[in-house]
Structure 1
Amino acid sequence: MSKKYLVTGGAGYVGSVVAAHLLQAGHEVTVLDDLSTGHRDGIPAGARFVEGRIQDAAQWLDPSYDAVLHFAAFSQVGESVADPEKYWRNNVGGTMDLLAAMRDAGVRTLVFSSTAATYGEPASTPITESAETAPTSPYGASKLAVDHMISGEAAAHGLAAVSLRYFNVAGAYGTCGERHDPESHLIPLVLQVAQGKREAISVYGEDYPTPDGTCVRDYIHVADLAEAHLLALDAASPSPATTPAGGASRRRVNPGEHLICNLGNGNGFSVREVIETVRKVTGHPVPEIAAPRRAGDPAVLVASAQTAIDRLGWRPSRADLAGIVADAWQFAQHLDRTKES
């Protein structure tokens, strides 16, 4: 059954891939984005586009919408330390305005793009949703504040909500991929070295208690992430639109409930494994530069996605690092061809 969804931040990396999946499932999609960090050409064909801020969502949100998927947030950790008020104003204040608009319109289903940054530096891995939340940046703190806000909205006003806490999202989906400015994520940075856009990749710390001495992180393919959003929508919607692939079980998210799920592969790859995989996939040399450890970089960050498996019926199917890198590489080359033409 076709439904109507508002996707805030749908011109960004994850939002655009989720919007594309919704359209392919036969749904009607409106993308709301102010293009401050998103890209107009990343909005999938078939989506209605509204250029605007989440603070003004009440202008477009009405009772015809079945749910909201909320991706509109600033997400640069370093910037959040230098300019915290920007993050509180947009990520927290903007979400408060969005929740008010949803309440006024009677839209009672929400899927929120949260983050593993809410956990800070966890004491142990794999990280479960019961781990202590101790964010180390205003960005992570702003996302945690929104999670608390959603819990209160659900309890007080009957919202059915799912927060998905991502670990390291990577890869690409067709012409939708990762392009931040400035770029801070490892895989696109290493690919820039392979493209000749950077001289070398810095390896921050080579003496961690890991097999090769470099940090280990959990990478999740953006298409797997998108599928989790569709399953979360179904779980929280009064009338589910689809059945999970393979007949996987799931449990409803009822009005008044706020479910929080970690999303990751449950496996970690080291910085050096990522670099070596880029070399193999691209066939290009990737020079390295040893650099001191960065403050606040834990040795290992790996997710437990058991809650998403049990409650949503979700399982990642693109966990191979070479496949993730190959998709990201294909997208990077697509961007270069587009610029040349």
Structure 2
Amino acid sequence: MTWLVTGGAGYIGSHVVRAFGQVGLGTVVLDDLSSGHKEFVPADVPLVEGSILDTDLVADTLATHGVVGVVHLAGFKYAGVSVDRPLHTYDQNVTGTAHLLEAMASQGVDAIVFSSSAAVYGTPDVDLVTETTATRPESPYGESKLIGEWLLRDQGRAAGLRHTSLRYFNVVGSGTPELYDTSPHNLFPLVLDALAEGRTPRINGTDYPTPDGTCVRDYIHVADLADAHVAAARVLADGGSLEPVYNLGSGDGVSVRQIMTAMAEATGVAFEPEIAARRPGDPARIVASGELAARDLGWRMTYSLDEMVTTAWQARETH
């Protein structure tokens, strides 16, 4: 029983591949290596270099490896950059997903776990986001993820595709030192790189209506996220049904100030962050409930904030 992991050479995808292997499920990776890394893919896992936009390649990969289901993580993931590159974002995330679903239909592969995003919510007007919270994406990236969910829904109606989409927020940490977050836009690598290079990290805004005045967000460990993908895939593989979407959230969140404190403790680098003005459009708090995922997927956070930071720093130090 083999699952295709699109984007499986990336930071999140490579953790998903390892999580599948830990429970005895085989995988094959399809990745164009635009942001992924060959060395992130285990030696015993086949790596097909190419794009999900190449329908024939995807179909051939599904057939050659006897794939029974897909975990779809491939895509352009930078929300801020997507504002300047909307056509590229839609091509990669919307057109690419359509081509993937076309290839799956041609090969009779009828199960998919889609890596969606909390960006579909935009700036919610509730303290705790649930799956019924209104979706109001504020970037082409968020819009493309929501359209991806619609594509799965419509293909489910038309062709019986069994699917679920996992919406999550900020993914951090490392499950093993050889895998690390290489994004030039994410908070953890930005702060860790600054500390390693002798620069002072920055907090944007300390006057928000939160307990310590800084923004509050959901942060989840990448290994916990990978386990959720495996849990969803196993339900589908066993013929079970799932809700169309699940939030993977903490229910309480962590502030930027708390993260800075944890960074100083984990790295041993004492610092006082620079204080800058708020960034336009940054909401004070975005936190999601993970209750539905706990009910159906056994979702729970097993890593503390200190462990998230420590594992991220260990991986950063390794490289």
The alignment partner of 2:114 has SS state of strand
Q: 1:330 aligns with which of 311, 314, 317?
A: 314
Which deviations, in whole Å up to 9, do the C-alpha atoms of 1:242-283 show, x marking residues without a partner? xxxxxxxxxx316xxx62000022221111110010001110
Q: 1:279 aligns with which of 261, 264, 285?
A: 264
Alignment partner, residue 70 of structure 2: 68
CA distance in structure 2 between the aligned counterparts of 1:184 and 1:113, rounded to whole angstroms: 19
CA contact under 8 A between 1:194 and 1:285: conserved in structure 2?
A: no
- Report how far residue 285 of structure 1 moved: 2.6
Corresponding position: 1:178 with 2:161: no
Q: What are the equivalent positions in structure 2 for 1:104-253 lying under 5 Å apart? A: 104-174=106-176, 175-180=178-183, 183-196=184-197, 199-238=199-238, 252-253=240-241
What root-mean-square deviation, in Å, do the aligned CA atoms of Structure 1 and Structure 2 show? Answer: 1.3
Alignment partner, residue 262 of structure 1: 247
CA distance in structure 1 between the aligned counterparts of 2:25 and 2:247, rounded to whole angstroms: 25
Alignment partner, residue 79 of structure 1: 81
Q: 2:10 aligns with which of 9, 12, 17?
A: 12
CA distance in structure 2 between the aligned counterparts of 1:300 and 1:284, rounded to whole angstroms: 28
TM-score of the two chains, using structure 2 as the length reference: 0.95
- Report how far residue 195 of structure 1 moved: 0.9
Paired residue type of 2:155: E
CA contact under 8 A between 1:199 and 1:287: conserved in structure 2?
A: no
The alignment partner of 2:244 has SS state of strand
The alignment partner of 1:165 has SS state of strand
The alignment partner of 1:15 has SS state of helix
CA distance in structure 2 between the aligned counterparts of 1:44 and 1:74, rounded to whole angstroms: 23
Alignment partner, residue 21 of structure 2: 23
CA distance in structure 1 between the aligned counterparts of 2:289 and 2:160, rounded to whole angstroms: 28
The answer for unaligned runs of 5 or more in structure 1 is 240-251, 336-341
Alignment partner, residue 294 of structure 1: 279
- Report how far residue 177 of structure 1 moved: 1.9
- Report how far residue 206 of structure 1 moved: 0.9
- What number of residue pairs does the alignment pair up? 314
CA distance in structure 1 between the aligned counterparts of 2:119 and 2:4, rounded to whole angstroms: 25
CA distance in structure 2 between the aligned counterparts of 1:266 and 1:218, rounded to whole angstroms: 8
Q: 2:53 aligns with which of 48, 55, 58?
A: 55
- Report how far residue 27 of structure 1 moved: 2.1
Paired residue type of 1:265: S
The alignment partner of 1:262 has SS state of strand
CA distance in structure 2 between the aligned counterparts of 1:129 and 1:5, rounded to whole angstroms: 26
CA distance in structure 1 between the aligned counterparts of 2:249 and 2:225, rounded to whole angstroms: 9
CA distance in structure 2 between the aligned counterparts of 1:7 and 1:23, rounded to whole angstroms: 12
The answer for unaligned runs of 5 or more in structure 2 is none
Q: What are the equivalent positions in structure 2 for 1:301-320 lying under 5 Å apart? A: 301-318=286-303, 320=304
CA distance in structure 2 between the aligned counterparts of 1:302 and 1:237, rounded to whole angstroms: 30
CA contact under 8 A between 1:160 and 1:237: conserved in structure 2?
A: no
CA distance in structure 2 between the aligned counterparts of 1:75 and 1:316, rounded to whole angstroms: 23
CA contact under 8 A between 2:174 and 2:315: conserved in structure 1?
A: yes
The range that moved more, 63-72 or 121-130, is 63-72
- Report how far residue 295 of structure 1 moved: 1.4
- Report how far residue 287 of structure 1 moved: 4.2
> Structure 1: which 4+ aligned runs deviate by more than 4 Å?
none
The alignment partner of 2:247 has SS state of strand
The alignment partner of 1:261 has SS state of strand
- Report how far residue 18 of structure 1 moved: 0.2
Which deviations, in whole Å up to 9, do the C-alpha atoms of 1:276-313 show, x marking residues without a partner? 10001110133422111111111011110111111222
The alignment partner of 1:55 has SS state of coil
Paired residue type of 1:176: L
Alignment partner, residue 244 of structure 1: none
